[in-house]
């Protein structure tokens, strides 16, 4: 008698998986590339290498990578505090981390703009230091950090909870200092989770639209991001051009995420 499984057998479950992924992912992406295929390779190259698209791509991917990197560092610190320490208001702080998930991105964008504008609570102090908050690439970075930060915390936090204090105590008994314990014992265990958190934050930031359009100022060649440029092409009824930009953005994003996942697999293999 075969072993009973809670879910259906491989054939049925695999068929449902492929069918569902086809409906929500493969078919829409195929339609996108089919629409972009209406233009020839020459038009593709002309659109993707235009100064406006290159400037938007540089800002989009650069700000997304920078925001994900900062979110990784700060997310590790916040996760460490939430897991390693007990203090009044800990549950409230833990719940606040999830607010960017629940808050509509448009509301987040309006709020960040009002705070970091030259007359805002924080923006006026930045202006005194010669730093422009809202309506600048720095404003884009702020918005992308805001929406990507929770991914890192929620990825690292369970790993730290499962790790416990045994490794740290053993390291201390053997005479290692705090910095050595963190660098040689704790950090290698957290690297896969940190890479996963960085990947999620980076992927989320690349496609962000709602919170960025308010704080960026949407100036072509300066503070315009790729999602906004795609929407602008659609508003001008240039559907093929919008599909080409979206396809190029998708291919670059997939390539970068593939490299990050490959790095993560190698690190996981080395830590076994």
E strand intervals along the chain: none
Residue 101: per-residue pLDDT: 85
Distance CA 97, CA 147 (A): 10
Residue 1: per-residue pLDDT: 47
**Nearest 5 degrees, angle CA 6-CA 11-CA 12?**
60
Cβ contact 136:223 at 8 Å: yes
Q: Which residue has the tokens 């908050």?
A: 133
CATH number of 50-270: 1.10.3720.10
Q: Count CB atoms within 10 A of the CB of residue 25.
A: 10
Token digits of residue 231: 């929407």
Q: Measuring CA to CA, how many Å separate 53 from each of 6, 78, 155, 185, 214?
A: 50, 36, 33, 44, 20
Which H or E element spans position 99? helix 99-102
Cβ contact 146:108 at 8 Å: yes
3-state secondary structure (DSSP) of residue 81? helix
Divide the 272 residues of the chain into consecutive groups of 10 and give the mean pLDDT of each group: 60 84 87 87 90 93 94 93 89 90 87 90 90 91 92 92 76 76 81 89 90 88 91 89 91 85 72 58
**Which residue in 139, 107, 140, 134 sits closest to 118, CA to CA?**
134
Residue 272: per-residue pLDDT: 58
Question: To 10 degrees, the CA torsion angle through 101, 104, 108, 114?
Answer: -160
Which H or E element spans position 203? helix 187-206
Q: Which residue has the tokens 């833990």?
A: 94
Cβ contact 68:194 at 8 Å: no
């Amino acid at each position: 008698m075969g072993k009973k499984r809670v879910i259906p057998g491989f054939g049925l479950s695999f068929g449902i998986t492929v069918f569902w992924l086809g409906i929500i992912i493969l078919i829409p992406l195929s339609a996108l590339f089919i629409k972009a295929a209406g233009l020839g390779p020459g038009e593709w190259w002309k659109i993707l290498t235009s100064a406006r698209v290159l400037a938007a791509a540089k800002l989009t991917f650069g700000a997304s990578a920078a925001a994900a990197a900062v979110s990784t560092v700060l997310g590790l610190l916040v996760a460490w505090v939430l897991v390693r320490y007990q203090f009044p208001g800990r549950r409230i702080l833990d719940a606040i981390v999830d607010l960017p998930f629940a808050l509509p991105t448009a509301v987040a964008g309006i709020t960040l703009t009002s705070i970091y504008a030259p007359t805002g609570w924080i923006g006026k102090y930045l202006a005194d230091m010669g730093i422009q908050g809202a309506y600048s690439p720095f404003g884009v970075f702020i918005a992308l950090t805001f929406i990507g930060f929770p991914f890192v915390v929620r990825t690292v936090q369970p790993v730290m909870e499962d790790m416990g204090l045994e490794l740290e105590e053993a390291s201390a008994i053997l005479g290692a200092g705090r910095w050595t314990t963190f660098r040689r014992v704790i950090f290698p265990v957290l690297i896969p989770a940190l890479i996963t958190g960085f990947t999620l934050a980076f992927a989320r930031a690349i496609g962000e639209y709602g919170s960025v359009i308010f704080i960026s100022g949407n100036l072509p060649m300066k503070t315009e991001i790729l999602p906004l440029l795609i929407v602008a092409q659609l508003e001008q009824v240039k559907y093929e051009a919008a599909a080409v930009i979206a396809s190029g953005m998708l291919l670059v994003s997939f390539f970068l995420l593939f490299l990050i996942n490959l790095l993560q697999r190698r690190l996981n293999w080395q830590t076994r």
